[in-house]
Structure 1
Amino acid sequence: MRTRVDRAGLDSHVRDLARQMFFSNAAIDAFLEGASASDARAVEALLSEELESRARNKRKRLLNRARFPKIKSFGGYDFSQVSFPEGYGPEDLKSLRLLDSAEGFVFYGKTGRGKTHLATAIGVKAVSGGRSVRFHSTADLVMRLERAQGEGSLDRALRDATSADLVILDEFGYVPIDVAGARILFQVVSDCYERRSLIVTTNIEFSKWGTVLGDDKLAAAMIDRIVHHSRLIEFLGSSHRMDTALLFGEEGSQECDGVKGGDAEGTEGK
């Protein structure tokens, strides 16, 4: 009895694996009718390894296409200085439910508060789950798209920039964008709107986006699309980079508070 039960479970597993590889039922039936238990186990191992290999290769391809500047994770991330909207918290963010509802986020705060780290950690986890991600430095993206426009390949470049479950626009506002570039960036946001999740990291409050883009009306239209399905998350506290800077050291950190504060403010917009 045990042997028959084990064989039935083995056959069922082989069938499940084969279906995932698009084998026909006729081919599966023909094999299992004449296969011994050892034959079925060997094929089970083969198909399992093939599927695991495909999953690994897919994650590798997704990671390469995401173009993260560095790989980051949630491990050890300090959420104590991150302000979430009411009814939403870190575990909601880590769950990645945002990807299934084309939900977005604006990560707002001064330089060095962990915005890029958290956005990257979300993206890396999404890739680990087999989801596609595009990570862009906003200024670099605009330059690439303007170059593509000049070469007559803007449509293709836009598809590449936004064809993902999650699009991350990092460091918006750190470098001013000319009006032509702002219009292209608006196309990126419009392509993402209600189709895919979008995370924007910025140190610029909404009221000043018109200054960055050089067009108040365009900024208003962009903000309207971003905030419709997005949550605002604020990053408070001091700069993580300044807190751990070798220049100051632990002993001198107290004496250099004034210098650190000045430097932290001075890095905004960079």
Structure 2
Amino acid sequence: MQSSACVADAVVEAGKRCSLTKSVLAEWARRGTPRQVEYLLGYLEAEGASRDASKRAQLLRRCALPQAKTFEGYDWSCVSWPDGFGRDDLLSLSFLGDREDLVLMGDVGTGKTHMAEALCVLACQSARAARFFTASSLVGRLRRARDEGRLDRELAQIGRAELLVVDELGFLPLDVDGARLLFQVVSQAYETQSVVFTTNLEFSRWGSVFGDDQMAAAVIDRVVHHGRLLQFRGESYRVRHALMSPGGGGAE
């Protein structure tokens, strides 16, 4: 008779070699005693939980967030909601199922990027793929991929995410080449992904970002068709909590 340690090692090795099938599980569930079947169920539930946790962790790593922020303690006071869409709709991620876009527009430091990062975390926790880029880093990534002859593959990888965040649109102007690359992403995502943009610029000023009013109009046309605008107004969180603010302990 094999020792319990040997049997345990054999179980691990057997588990590495196979994927479980319904017919085999059903057969062993019929053959086992109630206590054995209960033990088998416990194992399967633990295995499922472990795989789910691994998938969520992998999705979060692939998302490449600068900071994995959540909505815990989030200050909602700066957010103005569009008609028919509120906090519960946002947190339920219902907009992902409808392939709707979100534009988080408004003052600097009012929580736009925090919200976008927290949405990515929420999506990954729900086992839904998300990717996070600043507008400039996304254009740089696409430019390198094109120069190396793998732009189609890069676009395909980006296109597999249910949620795509383009952060800081408008912080840095794009040249014509960069604008065209970003337009390819927006066009590909249209009605197939949800894109969340964060920006401090109103739509009327997007032409200055893309360097071309027609290009900007084409992007806006796609975004507003299935999109919602969340506006952010208020004093910057960083200014409110800055060491250099009056009474904040900064140098005099």
**TM-score, normalization: structure 1?**
0.83
1:24 to 15, 22, 25: 22
Aligned residue number for residue 165 of structure 2 = 168
Looking at structure 1, the residues matched to 78 and 30 of structure 2 have their Cα atoms a distance apart, in angstroms, of: 62
1:117 aligns to what?
114
- Take 2:27 and 2:126, find their aligned partners in 1: how far apart are those partners? 34
Partner deviation per Cα, 1:112-139 (whole Å, 9 max, x = no partner) = 1110001111111111011000101110
Report how far residue 38 of structure 1 moved: 1.7
- Structure 1 runs of 4+ off > 6 angstroms? none
The answer as to 2:201 corresponding to 1:204 is yes
1:50-89 equivalences in 2 (<5 Å): 50-89=47-86
Normalised to the residue count of structure 2, the TM-score between the two structures is 0.88
How many residues align? The count is 233
Aligned to 1:234: 231
Amino acid at match of 1:158: L
- How do 1:79-228 residues align onto structure 2 when only pairs under 5 Å count? 79-228=76-225
User: What amino acid sits opposite 1:44 in the alignment?
Assistant: L
1:104 and 1:230 in contact (8 A); partners too: yes
Unaligned runs of 5+ in 1: 1-20, 257-270
Deviates more, 1:241-250 or 1:58-67: 241-250
Q: Give the 3-state SS of the residue equivalent to 2:247 in structure 1.
A: helix
> Which residue of structure 2 aligns with residue 38 of structure 1?
35
- Deviates most, 220-229 or 85-94: 85-94
Q: Distance in 1 between matches of 2:158 and 2:241?
A: 34
Q: Is the 8 A contact 1:112 1:240 kept in 2?
A: yes
Q: Is the 8 A contact 1:142 1:185 kept in 2?
A: yes
| Helix, strand or coil at the partner of 2:218 | helix
Kindly report the root-mean-square deviation, in angstroms, between the aligned alpha carbons of the 2 structures.
1.7
1:249 Cα deviation after fit = 4.9
CA contact (8 A) 1:134 1:162 kept: no
In 2: Cα distance, 1:213 partner to 1:124 partner: 29
Taking the aligned partners of 2:131 and 2:248, their CA distance within structure 1 comes to 41
Point out where structure 2 has 5 or more consecutive residues left out of the alignment.
Answer: 1-18
Residue aligned with 1:238, SS: coil
The aligned counterpart of 2:9 is none
The percentage of aligned residue pairs carrying the same residue is 44
The answer on whether the counterparts of 2:100 and 2:195 sit within 8 Å (CA) in structure 1 is yes
